Chains A and B, each alone.
Chain A
Amino acid sequence: MSAVYIARATTVAARALDGEMMIMSAKDSTLFTLNPVGTAIWQAADGKTPLADIVQQKICAQFDVEPAEALQDAENFVGNLANHGILLVSDEPIAVVKPPAGASQ
């Protein structure tokens, strides 16, 4: 199975509130909130780290969850966000032209 890489879309607005990420899509002004697990994935979405590594390093290490189940959930989650234009997903590393300075705040 090939690696999956994810990067935050630069067209969204995002800010953490009490450990949960608020994300506003500029495309359709839809507001999303991510729970702490989703927030951890979002913050780690640098375009360079494979999703499987993110799950292992950021999710399994911090949350009480089985690795296989966590990866499956993460893939569904990532696909969902990609459909909304919030995350970019590729089977190759994604070059982020201008890293958003406040993405992890």
Chain B
Amino acid sequence: MSLMQELGQRALDRGVPISVQMDVTYRCNERCIHCYLDHDDHGEMTTAEIRGILDQLAEAGVFFLTFSGGEVFMRMDFFDILEYARSLMFCVKVKTNAFMVRASEAQRLRDLAIQDVQVSIYSHRPEVHDAITLLPGSLKRSVAGIRLLREHGVKVVIANVLMMQNLGDSAGVKALAKDLGAEYTIDPTVTPMMDGDREILKLGLGVPQLKDVFRNPDMVGDTDEFCEPPPPVTDDVMDELPCSAGHTACYISPYADVFPCVQFPLPSGNLRQQKFLDVWQHSDQLNDVRTIKARNLPVCSGCNHVGTCTRCPGLAYMEGNMRGPSTQDCEKSFARTGIPSANMLRKQKAATTRGLVQIAAFSPA
């Protein structure tokens, strides 16, 4: 067990929220076609409110703190927030499109010893990247921002969200990351809108494209290992927790709402009405999330993939049931191994089986 895993286990055993993502704004200068957010400001937390919450997070034992958005630099007080967070000795990560990062911002991020800055780059080609962000010139500015961050010694991670629009460009983005001295990571998941609208999912990769990604050693490393069939399911697997959401991690929106995770929009409390620890320890919703184990998943507990699937309870929640399957993850398991999930087989069966009650149209004689 690595030191990080050991810490995670200790935090879990003690009910400590070791990791929090706080979105400081949903406003953004870009309008990415796959974005799940409403960018209007419906009453963001003030600087003082955020400071108060950061105090509470430190007291609760939060160590890893990610600031994201929207675009964090849309807030004029973002560096005030960062400085305060660092004075509380959080391990701070920042997600930004780097469009507004100039030399002075890069220097301040360096001085504040920010752990890393994550920037989404969709393509190495401006015509593709800018068509996704809907902001002309955005690739040029983002790359310039990354270059400045690297020149100032700030660690940068380039996140490459894979969609139908940019599927062929991942090698180019990876090469760009190498050229910039940045780390590179892929994310093949497009998330439904926070309000449940699933229209943007059509932008995501289908099974044939996922198969190509998962069989590309440049993307996943050892493809044989990555795509191997799931091992037999053991009792230990059935007692496993789905992920850290609600257990050692949670998400705070710009409006002080608490959710189990940024990808799990189950309202669990609001920090304008309650203290963070009250929500963390006593929220009915978080406590409900904490009861989810593989064993009590109605469909997935009977699936061969249950031990290796990336099933996201948040995506399942947005599909209608946080204990149900997440179809996007079923598709990933299938694309990886060629073995359909229990959920896929169930749907297939339902599609080919006639219901008990039939309606037939009769033509007049």
Query: Do A and B make up one complex?
Result: yes
User: Which A positions have Cβ atoms within 8 angstroms of B?
Assistant: 10-18, 22, 24, 26, 29, 31, 33, 98, 100-103, 105
Q: Is the CB of B58 within 8 A of A102?
A: yes
Q: Is the CB of A101 within 8 A of B115?
A: no
Residues of chain A lying within 8 A (CB to CB) of residue B58: 15, 101-102, 105
Q: Is the CB of A18 within 8 A of B87?
A: no
Bound-state Cα–Cα, A12 to B89, Å: 7
Which of B10-18, B97-105, B263-271, B291-299 makes up part of the contact surface? B10-18
- B1-29: which residues lie under 8 A (CB-CB) from chain A? 3-4, 7, 10-11, 14, 16, 18
Residue from A10, A31, A33, A102 in contact with B88 in the complex, judged by beta carbons closer than 8 Å: A102
Bound-state Cα–Cα, A34 to B155, Å: 25
Residues of chain B lying within 8 A (CB to CB) of residue A12: 89, 113
User: Which B positions have Cβ atoms within 8 angstroms of A?
Assistant: 3-4, 7, 10-11, 14, 16, 18, 58-59, 61-63, 86-92, 113-116, 155
A18 to chain B, nearest CB (A): 6
Residue from B11, B87, B91 in contact with A100 in the complex, judged by beta carbons closer than 8 Å: B87
Known contacts A11-B113, A17-B16; decide if A103 and B89 are in contact (CB<8 Å): yes
Q: Is the CB of B90 within 8 A of A13?
A: yes
Q: Is the CB of B10 within 8 A of A31?
A: no
Q: Is the CB of B7 within 8 A of A33?
A: yes
Known contacts A12-B113, A29-B155; decide if A17 and B63 are in contact (CB<8 Å): yes
Q: Is the CB of A22 within 8 A of B113?
A: no
Bound-state Cα–Cα, A22 to B116, Å: 18
Q: Is the CB of B88 within 8 A of A100?
A: yes
Q: Is the CB of A16 within 8 A of B61?
A: yes
Bound-state Cα–Cα, A10 to B111, Å: 9
B15 to chain A, nearest CB (A): 11
Q: Is the CB of A26 within 8 A of B113?
A: yes
Q: Is the CB of B61 within 8 A of A15?
A: yes
Bound-state Cα–Cα, A105 to B62, Å: 10
Bound-state Cα–Cα, A79 to B114, Å: 25
Q: Is the CB of A15 within 8 A of B62?
A: yes
Q: Is the CB of A100 within 8 A of B89?
A: yes
Residues of chain A lying within 8 A (CB to CB) of residue B4: 31
Q: Is the CB of B3 within 8 A of A15?
A: no
B48 to chain A, nearest CB (A): 15
Known contacts A15-B63, A17-B14, A102-B58; decide if A22 and B7 are in contact (CB<8 Å): yes
Q: Is the CB of B61 within 8 A of A17?
A: yes
Best-buried of A11, A102, A103, A105 by chain B (most CB within 10 Å): A102
Q: Is the CB of A102 within 8 A of B63?
A: no
Bound-state Cα–Cα, A103 to B163, Å: 43
Residues of chain A lying within 8 A (CB to CB) of residue B155: 29
Q: Is the CB of A10 within 8 A of B14?
A: no
Best-buried of A12, A16, A18 by chain B (most CB within 10 Å): A18
Residues of chain A lying within 8 A (CB to CB) of residue B92: 13
Q: Is the CB of A26 within 8 A of B115?
A: yes
Bound-state Cα–Cα, A98 to B113, Å: 14
A92 to chain B, nearest CB (A): 24
